[in-house]
Structure 1
Amino acid sequence: MIVGEVEVAGQVREAFKQAQRRGESTSRIENLFQRALATSKKVKTTTDLGAAGRSIAQVALQLVEQRHWPLAGKRALVLGTGAYARVVVSALHSMECQDIDVFSASGRANRFSESHGTVPIHREGFTEALANADLVIACSGSGTHLLDAQLLTQARPAHAMLPILDLALSSDVAGDVHPLPTVDVIDLEVIGKNAPSERADAIAAARSIVQEAVVEFEADIASRSVDPVVASMRAHVGLLINEETDRVRRRSGESVASEVAHSLHRVTNALLHTPSIKARELARNGNEADYRQAIQLLFGIDFNDKQDV
């Protein structure tokens, strides 16, 4: 694929939102995706990859212009109404493509066209739209071939060259289309080979940012692994405070017991603050087991190793 492609972060963000809406996210997944999106933003704003603002759609359309003709004033037929179709249509508009037809095998062309300035094509008009197109962009990813050799030879005059951009991961174009002499199929492999190479320093900078984020995320996860240990230690001390407070209450009354409890909690918080901070630092450095053993020896706590990950 293309290094620095701008659609990827948007797709990740949308997948994250869907998981949240369905209740399929966890606190660790939330943390992971939030950091990933923040890292993507940092790469975009601090490296030349972000400045380029490139996408597969843009590179593919530029490749069509290089190999065939300017798209200004031409007619395009877009297959699909998903996220990639939106990006493609936006790019076509920016390149002054005059007429943009949209076909949806699932019947969503009308709704899509209402908000994207395109012409919806229904199944009965598909062959005619194919015959009139100067360019076809296939990005439905429906899992079935919307274009095959028989359809194209019937719809298109033998002398008319037709560039076809096949942008779907699950190809919309049958294999028998590629050998046709009047068709130029430009798929993801061709686009990747012809995409301009990014500057080595920009890629290195982006990878460095990502690597730093990965290391920080892993360290944070490691530090959180001792949270149950710290919680057990505080609960153990809290139980001792409650027992002592109950003895004072029986001997001296509620007022004195409340003052003693307040004082003991203050002292406890002060005493356990540093061990709690050190716990995460040791875990980040891979010394969680030593910390567990030390706390177990000092407080006699039998830790339960089962943790909610």
Structure 2
Amino acid sequence: MLICLTASHRNASFDLLEKLSVGAPSVAPQLVANSDFIQGAVVLATCNRFEAYLDVDEPLTAGCALAAREVIDAVSAASFVDSADVIDAITVLSGDTVAEHLFSVSSGLESVVIGEEEIGGQVKRALQTARIEGTTSSALERLFQRASHTSRDVKTKTGVGGAGRSLVRLALELAESRVTDWAATRVLLIGTGKYARVSLAALHERGVTNVTVYSPSSRIAPFAERLSVPQVFTPGLDAVLAQSDVVVAASQSPTYVLSAAHFTAAAARPNALERRLVIDLGLPRNIDPAAQHLPGVELLDLETISLHAPIDEFKATTSARAMVDEAAAEFTAARVESEVTPAVVALRGHFFDVLDAEIARARARAGDDAAASETEAALRHLVGVLLHTPSVRARELARAGESESFVSALDALFGVQPAAAAQVTPLPTIVPVLPAASALPAGPGAGLGRTGTAARDDNPPRTGTAAAS
């Protein structure tokens, strides 16, 4: 059974999402290795959501609830967030709704900016990471591959994402009222990853030509050379910051890249600009929030940007939602059909076993000649034709939730029983989560789906300069 634990900008604060993004993405190998229920795990962590997709080898609701509890405990420990705060912010989906949710997410329909371009690639990279870590499963592979296919269809066949929507571009649109002339604007770009590349492209679209890139990672040199932008190293950072009108931070660093002290030092340099706009697209934050209280510093972070995200203009079209619903329905149908496959295999095996036995007896009596071979080919074709309608009917019954009637008919008519007949189990939409294993009650526990805001304030503060781009 597939389940999904999801926390996003819709039901969690950016403070909590930031904390989850630091340590939680690393929990998948631990969960798969140590859990009695979790057979596969893929973690999706972006700037506005944290989600864990699990393949749980347990058809009972209690098994899914225990698996959800294990994930919450592991995420809580890795992120230094109280488990009660994680529970308040996370919704747990199961069964058929998991596919619909992921397909919608990968198509950009659940993003801060509807139709954003980056999420499709982030979903692909989440699956690639799971492959590298050995935590994926065949069910999760099918789910994520279908999600990527659906995302491509939505992008190419509907208007969603047609305008090249992204958080980067939305942030720059918000900055329009603060920037007089983009062509004369000096920009300091922080980061060398994909988001930094997207940011640089968006800046160039607005006519920016004076961009300097900074990152303490070793990737800065090839990044700067490949994209033909000058680079600055740590000793010269304050000087460049002092002369920058706009700072765009798009690094994947787990620690602050620029602290309040950097801005103070920059402001104290000769001929330093009096004002600068700082756009922080990082999660975790790249810029120390204390910097926004300094004179001349205006900070736009993800939380601020999300508050200005347009709703009506970029709302998903009806056709995009319909495509996601159709893809999810087809994925569910394929899953349900697979549950009747053992019965179909048993039926075909029975018919062909009888046929093989009769052909063997015929050959023993008449010998092996050309006529016998032609007769055998004709009989095999006939059996295949006769089995076509029952096979199709079996899939139809499975889709209607009546696979058991097909299995019963095989037993009644032919005495055939599938080797491992799977039953269609009704799948709940919301999985209840159980308390810690040491205090499990007899009942299923409290359901998830509540909305939470802040995590604990005792999370160790992040300081220092990043070592990653």
The two structures share one fold, judged by TM-score above 0.5? yes
Q: Secondary structure at the match of 1:49?
A: coil
User: Taking CA–CA contacts closer than 8 Å with sequence separation of 6 or more, which of the two structures ends up with the larger relative contact order?
Assistant: 2
Q: What is the count of residue pairs matched by the alignment?
A: 307
2: CA distance between counterparts of 1:196 and 1:106?
35
3-state secondary structure, aligned to 1:185? strand
Cα distance per residue 1:192-244 (max 9 Å; x no partner)? 11133334874444323222221222112212322222122212222222222
User: Which residue number in structure 1 is paired with residue 397 of structure 2?
Assistant: 282
What does residue 110 of structure 1 align with? 221
Alignment partner of 2:242 out of 107, 119, 131: 131
SS in 2 for 1:254: coil
- The answer for the alignment partner of 1:175 in structure 2 is 289
| Stretch deviating more after TM superposition (293-302 or 130-139) | 293-302
The answer to whether the aligner puts 1:198 opposite 2:312 as a matched pair is: yes
| Partner SS for 2:173 | helix
Q: Which residue of 2 aligns with 1:267?
A: 382
Work out which of the residue numbers 234, 242, 260 in structure 1 matches 2:356.
242
Assess if the C-alpha contact under 8 Å between 2:251 and 2:282 holds in 1.
yes
Report the identity percentage.
Answer: 38
Letter aligned with residue 142 of structure 1: S
Contact 2:114–2:314 (Cα < 8 Å) also in 1: no
Structure 1 residues 238 and 262: alpha-carbon distance in aligned structure 2, compared to 1, 3 A threshold: same
What is aligned with 1:74?
A: 185
Q: What's 1:9 paired with?
A: 120
1:153-172 to 2 correspondence within 5 Å?
153-157=264-268, 160-172=274-286
CA deviations 1:246-301 (Å, max 9, x no partner) are 22222222226534432331221011010111111111121112112212322222
Counterpart in 1 of 2:303?
189
The CA deviation at 1:110 is: 0.9
* Aligned counterpart in structure 1 of residue 330 of structure 2, from 216, 238, 241: 216
Offset at residue 140 of structure 1 (A)? 0.9
Find the aligned partners of 1:35 and 1:252 in 2 and give their Cα distance.
53
Q: Are 1:219 and 1:284, in contact at CA under 8 Å, matched by a contact in 2?
A: yes
Shifted more, 82-91 versus 193-202: the winner is 193-202
Pick which of 213-222 and 158-167 moved more.
158-167
Q: CA deviation at 1:159?
A: 6.5
Which runs of 5 or more residues in structure 2 are unaligned?
A: 1-111, 423-469
Give the structure-2-normalised TM-score. 0.60
**Displacement of 1:179 after TM fit?**
2.1
Shift in Å at residue 112 of structure 1? 0.5
**Aligned counterparts of 2:191 and 2:131: Cα–Cα separation in 1:** 26
| Residues 130-155 of structure 1: per-residue CA shift (max 9 Å, x gap) | 22211111111210111111121112
CA separation of 1:97 and 1:200: change in aligned 2, threshold 3 A: closer
**1:291 matched residue in structure 2:** 406
Question: Which residue in the other structure is 2:105 paired with?
Answer: none
Residue aligning to 1:40 = 151
Q: From the superposition, tell whether residues 40 and 290 of structure 1 become closer, same or farther in structure 2 (CA, over 3 Å).
A: same
Letter in 2 for 1:87: V
Amino acid at match of 2:341: D
Q: What TM-score comes out, normalization by structure 1 length?
A: 0.88
Contact residue 71 and residue 95 of structure 1 kept, 8 A: yes
Alpha-carbon spacing, 1:136–1:201, altered in 2? closer, same or farther (3 Å): closer
Distance 1:21 1:302 in 2: 40
Quickly say closer, same or farther: Cα 1:306–1:271, change in 2 above 3 A: closer
Unaligned runs of 5+ in 1: none
Post-superposition Cα deviations, 1:56-83, rounded to whole Å, max 9, x if no partner, equal 1111112112234332221111111111
**Within 1, Cα distance between the matches of 2:193 and 2:251?**
7
Q: Say which SS state the counterpart of residue 195 (structure 1) adopts.
A: coil
Letter of the aligned partner of 1:113 in structure 2? A
**Counterpart Cα distance in 1 of 2:312 and 2:116:** 11
Q: Determine the C-alpha separation between the residues in 2 that align with 1:245 and 1:30.
A: 42
Native 8 Å contact 1:49 1:198 kept in 2? no
- Find the counterpart in structure 2 of residue 228 from structure 1: 342
Question: 1:65-111, CA deviations, whole angstroms, 9 ceiling, x for partnerless residues?
Answer: 22343322211111111110010001111111121111122221110
- Structure 1 residues 60 and 172 mapped into 2: Cα distance closer, same or farther (>3 Å)? same
